[in-house]
Amino acid sequence: MSQINTIKEYQDLFDIDANLNRLVKNIELLNYVNPQNIASEKKKFFSSKYNYEPQFHYPKIRFNGYKLHRLFFSQRLERIEDADIRQLYEDIIYEYSGLIECIETIGQGRKFYFNSLKSFGTPTEKDIENAKFILRFDDSIFDEEMLPMYSALEARDYFDEFSKRYDFNYNIKISNNLSAAAMVLNNIQTLVLRKSHKYSLNQLKVLTNHEIGVHMVTTFNALEQPLKIFSNGFPNNVETQEGLAVYSEFMSGCLTIERLKELSFRVIAVDSLHKGYNFSDTFHLLHSQHKLNRDKAFAITLRVHRGGGFTKDHLYLRGIRNVYKYAKDGKDLGVLLTGKVSQEYIPTIEKLQDLGLAVKPSYITDAYANNDNTHPNLDFILNSLK
């Protein structure tokens, strides 16, 4: 079926999809939740012997939240005849509405935390047990590849070289206002690197396979889809997309126990929000109790306390568990690379493909072609996660 015929036949669906696309342009949560004064607040925190509560500043909101909510819920979804597709769009509207509430309450403490809970949830008992299980493994073997020695400019060159294997073009930006070492801004096809960060060779391998091999791959696959929801994101896509990205690290042979421990510490840190911990409480939990060095402990604490309590980070470990088991069962990873999609909507994605409303992915994560992992403990750990 040609796309033109498909558009005519499903005109109401395409109209609603286009309306939602116009509305979500300003609600990229990561544009708003990263503090603008990380370096100065980190300096104050360390000077205070870790007892100062950082006062972070955030970018100004560039939209009217109330008006956006009203426009989202005014969509005439009853015009979408297929029940599964209609349900997907209904779920998406509730998802986007939740993200607006998150953005509107950034910097408002528990108010933001409760909105974050609604959008991203919190670790389950199983998640916490999985994290504690991973933390029991030894990661003390010295490896030169783990030494931080590359600047952001050198990292940019490494990313440029790695990206030659994919024939898409994206921008690389270097910024100080970043809580992660690197991240992809999907809506403007841009990779952002943290200026002050020193990268190890292993981290460069991890980040290229994670950010380019998955996040940029799904960004460009989504741009080829007839429907914009593949770019804007399905409900709960963070868990699946981050799971795919960490699985790419595993398959390319650069996932380490240290990296899995980092994801486990994030689960522990997010759980501390549920217990009412403030910034310095979570930092002391990681630094004093779990013996993380102060820079790593600060970075993880920042990630989960930004905005007022950002729970997204526990989804990485759950995501890799789910994607690892899905791939081990011999299931098709390609359907999960069609855009910013989630595992629970696979039947709907396949239905959209059958109807000519979605296409197969042009780009496939090259790390998925061969399993280059040589660490026997990693297979054992991932296979053991509940």
Is 124 within 8 Å of 267 (Cβ atoms)? no
The confidence score (pLDDT) of residue 4 equals: 52
Q: How many whole angstroms separate alpha carbon 289 and alpha carbon 54?
A: 21
**Separation of CA 355 from chain center:** 29
d(CA 257, CA 253): 12
Yes or no: say if 262 and 310 are a contact pair by the CB < 8 Å rule.
no
d(CA 190, CA 169): 9
Per-residue pLDDT of the chain (386 residues; tens, 9 = 90+): 445 556 778 999 999 999 999 999 878 888 899 999 999 999 999 999 999 999 999 999 989 999 999 999 999 999 999 999 999 999 999 999 999 999 999 999 999 999 999 999 999 999 999 999 999 998 777 788 889 999 999 999 999 999 999 988 899 999 987 778 898 888 888 999 999 899 999 999 999 999 999 999 999 999 999 999 999 999 999 999 999 999 999 999 999 999 999 999 999 999 999 999 999 999 999 999 999 999 999 999 999 999 999 999 999 999 999 999 999 999 999 999 999 999 999 999 999 999 999 999 999 999 999 999 998 899 999 999 99
Residue 3, pLDDT score: 58
Encoded tokens for 73: 């819920």
CA torsion through residues 152, 158, 162, 168, sign:
positive
Three-state SS annotation for the chain = CCHHHHHHHCHHHHHHHHHHHHHHCCCCHHHHHCCCCHHHHHHHHHHCCCCCCCCCCCCCCCCCHHHHHHHHCCCCHHHCCCHHHHHHHHHHHHHHHHHHHHHHCCCCCHHHHHHHHHHHCCCCHHHHHHHHHHHCCCCCCCCHHHCCCECHHHHHHHHHHHHHHCCCCCEEEEECCCCCCEEEEHHHCEEEEECCCCECHHHHHHHHHHHHHHHHHHHHHHHCCCCCHHHHCCCCHHHHHHHHHHHHHHHCCCCCHHHHHHHHHHHHHHHHHHCCCCHHHHHHHHHHHCCCCHHHHHHHHHHHHHHHCCHHHHHHHHHHHHHHHHHHCCCCCHHHHCCCCCHHHHHHHHHHHHCCCCCCCCCCCHHHHCCCCCCHHHHHHHHHCC
Residue 5 vs residues 1, 16, 351, 361: alpha-carbon distances, Å = 7, 17, 17, 21
Report the amino acid identity of residue 120. F
Instruction: Tell me the pairing of strands 190-194 and 182-185.
Output: antiparallel
Tokens 């930006």 identify what position?
173
Q: Spell out a b/e string for 21-48, using b for 16 or more CB atoms within 10 Å of the CB, else e.
A: eebbeebbbbbbbbbeebeebbeebeee
| The two three-digit tokens of residue 94, written as one number | 């509730």
Q: Quick one: residue 107, left, alpha or beta (phi over 0 = left, psi -120 to 50 = alpha)?
A: left
Distance between CA atoms of residues 76 and 120, nearest Å: 27
Close Cβ partners of 48 (under 8 Å, ≥ 6 residues apart):
none
What single letter denotes the amino acid at residue 95?
E
Gap between the Cα atoms of 267 and 260, Å rounded: 11
| Beta sheet of 171-175, edge-to-edge order | 171-175, 190-194, 182-185
